[in-house]
Structure 1
């Protein structure tokens, strides 16, 4: 399954800003949890998260952390990664907010404002472009 690697990289950075250190499989479970608002489903594989961590490591945004595990890789965010995450959050482009609709396979959704501190997912769009347009209209209305 093809995934949006830019969005995965951003979500990995976001998850690592909230925890000091995460093992790769725990990071995958965090992103795939339905009660979290990342929008990744059960189809997200640990190998894809590992590849994202390695991409981010090359850029200097994350580093391998020391752990007592013999075989698991653990990751922590660097100062450059925190700066990149902060910049991405400030920009908050509508394109960054588009995701596959978690409630309806094959459809698209976008993350809108916050309700009680967590983003609201607005879904039911037939394409990513339609969800992007709706997110841009919603942002224009709220400003």
Structure 2
């Protein structure tokens, strides 16, 4: 009888404890610094950037003379709703000839857009409004909405 109770209670206890530990989920894609180091300002083009790191995916944006790669990191824990813990935007700007002019990584700290890294040959991305929009919804984005749920 005791063994049967242990066999029933132990798996349930393990499930309860496992559901309490946070689970990390990553949405979108932002190339890391190693990948971005392969891109040469004034030398690479849209085509070579696409070959080296790919084009912005579903969460990214191609607007005018810049490509924006967006990645959000979420934490799921137990019965609580998911929480966005980090969002990064990589902006790669191109000139009229399609050559790279800027490679920048942005994050958000205390509600403000912050440049995390930058290799710039001009004044910076012209799509600052779009960049602010991509980062302004920090913690409010629901990935289930993108998939037709929630």
The normalised TM-score by structure 2 is 0.24
The normalised TM-score by structure 1 is 0.25
Q: Which has the higher strand share?
A: 2
